[in-house]
A = this chain, B = another copy of it.
Amino acid sequence: MSQPLLRALQGEVQAVPPLWFMRQAGRFLPEYRALRAKVTFEQLLYDSDLAAEVTLQPVRRFPQLDGAIIFSDILVILDALGCQVTIPEGGPRLGRTLDQIPLDQPLDERVFEPVQAAIRKVKAQLPPHVAMLGFAGAPWTLLAYGLEGKGSKTWSRAKAFLHAEPVKAMAWLDRLADAAARLLNLHIEAGAQAVQLFDTWAGELDPQDYAQFSLPSAHRALAQVTAAPTLFFARTGYLPQALETMPCQGLAVPWQVPMAEARQRFPRMALQGNLDPVSLLAGPEVATRKARQIVEVMKGHPHVFNLGHGLLPETNPDTLAAVIEVVKGK
């Protein structure tokens, strides 16, 4: 009998929803900060013992979690393409942008070996009810970082490139889709039981560009992942109806979208989400009230409880514990 999280992705309605949290392995945990104080972020990423440890930290602290997402970063794919990614405090920096790299540059899969090793190590230690999760960045999000060379407020360079060089942009999006699919499949080979594709910058595109560039390339990536269920998180303030035909089993709903609306508009899919991460900063009373409402609205539909975006570093772990208790009905 498979884990509750996987059963939800298979379309099973459960009395108590499985749950995990985006960015559950990270800065909001004192034990993470203690470890991170001793090593660089890159060491955490590329040392499989450290990555495994960080992945397991939230599972140890919150035994009711139903998923363990491997500690990694969406930019490892750009690193494997030669972008020389570093992730200092101020956010990612690329030594070379994608326009300086040939389109047929081979993907250096050795870059992915530590994360595969980490998945194997975590898997060996996970309690049986916890599903192992892998992930990758979606093609448009990778292209956006790959062209800007760092985070951006407007992503104007990347957006201009889509229009100035549409053929090249489409070719890169295909390439990045294949790379993302390859990474997700490597995660699955190493032991991931479900995987999530993150289109973090989907909401930066206007509806037309989103439909032309972001959705088809994410579709191409997800279609190549068939050995485990897939979740798709397109971070936008709305959810275009076209998502209903994406080749995935679960849709992660951003916090801006009411779950009742998502449930009505995406009847085919398991839905994941969608508590506003900022609500956890308002303390346990507010956060649990909002969590309870989401659980209530989703009764009778396959549901994975989660946030509608990643946990914020300033979250109090006790507030998260209170939310977990409420969702688990104890």
Contact = CB atoms under 8 A, between A and B. Distances in A.
A319 to B, nearest CB: 11
A190 interface: no
Contact of A203 (B160, B237, B258): B237
A206 B290 contact: yes
Interface in A229-287: 236-238, 255-258, 276-279, 281-283, 285-286
A154 interface: yes
Interface in A139-157: 154-156
Nearest to A256: B237
Given A203-B237, A238-B237, A276-B206, A164 B256 contact: no
Contact of A256 (B160, B206, B308): B206
A207 B257 contact: yes
A206 B154 contact: no
A159 B278 contact: yes
Nearest to A161: B282
A282 B156 contact: yes
Contacts of A257: 207, 238
A321 interface: no
Contacts of A312: 154, 156
A164 B293 CA distance: 18
Given A160-B281, A236-B237, A283-B160, A256 B207 contact: yes
Contact of A156 (B207, B208, B238, B314): B314
A256 B203 contact: yes
Nearest to A315: B156
A208 to B, nearest CB: 8
A299 interface: no
A163 interface: yes
Interface in A191-205: 203-204
A148 to B, nearest CB: 12
A163 B282 contact: yes
B286 A163 contact: yes
Contacts of A237: 203, 236-238, 256
Given A164-B283, A238-B238, A238-B257, A278 B207 contact: no
Interface of A: 154-156, 159-160, 163-164, 203-204, 206-208, 236-238, 255-258, 276-279, 281-283, 285-286, 290, 293, 308, 312, 314
16 contacts: A154-B277, A155-B278, A156-B281, A159-B278, A159-B279, A159-B282, A160-B286, A163-B286, A164-B286, A203-B256, A206-B255, A206-B308, A208-B258, A208-B293, A238-B238, A238-B257
